Amino acid sequence: MSLDESGYVGLVLEKLSSSNIKIGDTICVKRNEEEYVGVLMPRSQVGSDQFHLVLKLESGYNIGIKLGQDSQVFKISSGKKKQSVSAEKELARKNLPTASILSTGGTIASKVDYQTGAVNPALSAQDLYDTVPELGDYANVRAKVIMSVLSENIQPNDWTKIARSVAVEIKAGSDGVVIAHGTDTLGFTAAALSFALQNLPVPVVLVGSQRSSDRPSSDAAMNLIGAINLATRANAAAVFVLMHAETGDSYLHAHLGTRTRKLHTSRRDAFQSVNGYPVYRVSGQDIMELRSPLSRRNTERKLNMKPKFEEKVALVKTNPSIEASLIDLFVERGYKGILIEGTGLGHAPDRLQSSIKKAIDAGIVVAMSSQCLFGRINMNVYRSGVELLDIGVVPSEDMFPETALVKLMWVLANTKDSESAKTLFLKPLAGEIDMRSEESEYAKTFGGD
């Protein structure tokens, strides 16, 4: 990456250019009496201001340093990205495992837009590697950009594309695949890949960050390093989401792809297992298995791809003002499935019943989940649940709504009629339904009293 793509302008660009410093170089900055040594990061978090540069210190933290006219900047050593081809070959020779990083966009691959102050997807997979050069200490990394979008824009056909890209990497002999993804819909994509990538030989690890990688407080580096290690070293073959387990930089949790939900808008530990527990605790190269993964790593195993999803599936969240005609609309528009996010144990207002019945009579698969998020659907307890079961509504068991929605999309693309779709919907495939899941798997607020 050349410096003028890095976001640095004015005074900082001038000083860096005059010392022939490139992103990734280890440099020394002298300002007044202070001296800082660290790796020059690609972009500053400080908007369009021409006075700040960002260094990654040896501690792993990034800091922004404001330069004055008198500040001095020296190069100490060139960054790893400057390694010659022979040096790269040397890395491979070290018998390191091979990891693939597929970048899809999102905060983990974002930079600050200097015009709006907002964050845009921009860093390539190579940039990620440049930003976290120590990735090379753990694995021989193959980095590819497969798309570049903020994850709220990811659609089911993108899941298909990502699944196919994973298959290419696995076929090429990757020891594990890391997918850098925006956090907003990371849980949806993780569930989708869990169904699409059957009979996996190696782990597939989705990773994101809650602070963009050019911000001093970014969780991107630690999450990426953990993901590379989990993907290449864990004795597992399943889809995981790996993110901070708490607000500090102590350790990460790997959650099952079908059980992961973003539960906080901003905390680094926003991701949690819902109706399940984390499978691994990860810190750098330390990988602690907390419970058995769904299946073990086996490079002889042949990946079975089922990458298609039916897009005509609606998510209908019930609420006190919902109108029955909303259900009718989806019937008229040729939808194939409706996932109701109902209340409590799996209820919907009685006034929706006749429209739900019409939808089912029209061949639409209607499934029921709960806006409670935690807990199991049980439609046998109350009259309204019993009546919906009688009509033919399918309970989503202990799947929370987002995973149930993705599974319904997948099931409808992989079956021939609504009866076989219902049967497949209720069959546990990737840890998404667990008849033994317990009420103890529940998140509670502490410190309140």
Respond yes or no: is residue 184 known to be catalytic: yes
155 lies in the binding site for its own copies (CB under 8 A): yes
Selected binder of its own copies within 37, 57, 288, 362 (CB under 8 A): 288
User: Do 205 and 227 meet the contact criterion of CB atoms below 8 Å apart?
Assistant: yes
User: Do 425 and 367 meet the contact criterion of CB atoms below 8 Å apart?
Assistant: yes
312 lies in the binding site for its own copies (CB under 8 A): yes
Helix (H, G, I), strand (E, B) or coil at 354: helix
Task: Give the burial class of 110: count Cβ atoms within 10 A of its Cβ; 0-12 exposed, 13-18 middle, 19 or more buried.
Answer: buried
Tokens representing 243?
């993110």
Q: How far is the CB of 45 from its own copies (least distance, A)?
A: 11
Q: Closer CB to its own copies, residue 137 or residue 441? A: 441
Tokens representing 204?
């597939």
Q: List the one residue out of 410, 404, 336 whose CA is nearest residue 367.
A: 404
Distance between CA atoms of residues 359 and 233, nearest Å: 48
User: Do 297 and 202 meet the contact criterion of CB atoms below 8 Å apart?
Assistant: yes
Tokens representing 336?
């194939």
User: Which range, of 83-91, 105-113, 221-229, 296-304, touches its own copies by CB under 8 A?
Assistant: 105-113
Tokens representing 200?
């996996």
- For its own copies, the binding residues in 162-201 under the rule CB under 8 A are 183-185, 188
Q: How far is the CB of 122 from its own copies (least distance, A)?
A: 11
Q: Closer CB to its own copies, residue 141 or residue 368? A: 368
Q: Closer CB to its own copies, residue 63 or residue 149? A: 149
Catalytic residue among 80, 111, 262, 407: 262
| Residues 409-438: x where in contact with its own copies by CB under 8 A, - otherwise, as a string | x-----------------------------
**How far, in whole angstroms, is CA 228 from its chain's centroid?**
14
Respond yes or no: is residue 116 known to be catalytic: no
Q: Closer CB to its own copies, residue 50 or residue 378? A: 378
Q: Closer CB to its own copies, residue 201 or residue 226? A: 226
CB environment 244-275: b (16+ within 10 A), e (fewer): bbeeebebbbbbbbbbbbbeeeeebbbbbbbb
User: Do 182 and 338 meet the contact criterion of CB atoms below 8 Å apart?
Assistant: no
Respond yes or no: is residue 183 known to be catalytic: yes
Helix axes 401-413, 418-425, angle to 10 degrees: 140
Distance between CA atoms of residues 295 and 282, nearest Å: 18
Selected binder of its own copies within 194, 232, 273, 418 (CB under 8 A): 273
Q: Closer CB to its own copies, residue 138 or residue 188? A: 188
Tokens representing 231?
């993907």
66 lies in the binding site for its own copies (CB under 8 A): no
Respond yes or no: is residue 262 known to be catalytic: yes
Tokens representing 256?
């099952």
Q: List the one residue out of 313, 315, 316, 208 whose CA is nearest residue 260.
A: 208
Q: Give the binding-site size for its own copies (rule: CB under 8 A).
A: 93
Q: For the chain, give the longest Cα–Cα distance.
A: 79
Selected binder of its own copies within 8, 138, 159, 240 (CB under 8 A): 159
Selected binder of its own copies within 290, 296, 361, 362 (CB under 8 A): 290
| Residues 4-43: x where in contact with its own copies by CB under 8 A, - otherwise, as a string | ----------------------------------------
Catalytic residue among 49, 113, 184, 249: 184
Helix axes 353-361, 325-332, angle to 10 degrees: 10
| Residues 313-352: x where in contact with its own copies by CB under 8 A, - otherwise, as a string | xxx-xxxxxx------x-----------xxxxxxxxxxx-
Q: Closer CB to its own copies, residue 80 or residue 376? A: 376
Q: How far is the CB of 226 from its own copies (least distance, A)?
A: 15
**How far, in whole angstroms, is CA 58 from its chain's centroid?**
27
Q: In sequence order, what are the residues at sequence separation of 6 or more whose Cβ sits closer than 8 angstroms to the Cβ of residue 88? A: none
Catalytic residue among 104, 107, 260, 318: 107
User: Which range, of 7-15, 53-61, 424-432, 440-448, touches its own copies by CB under 8 A?
Assistant: 440-448
User: Which range, of 4-12, 60-68, 90-98, 107-115, touches its own copies by CB under 8 A?
Assistant: 107-115
- For its own copies, the binding residues in 347-406 under the rule CB under 8 A are 347-351, 370-378, 380-386, 402, 405-406
Q: Which residues are catalytic?
A: 107, 183-184, 262
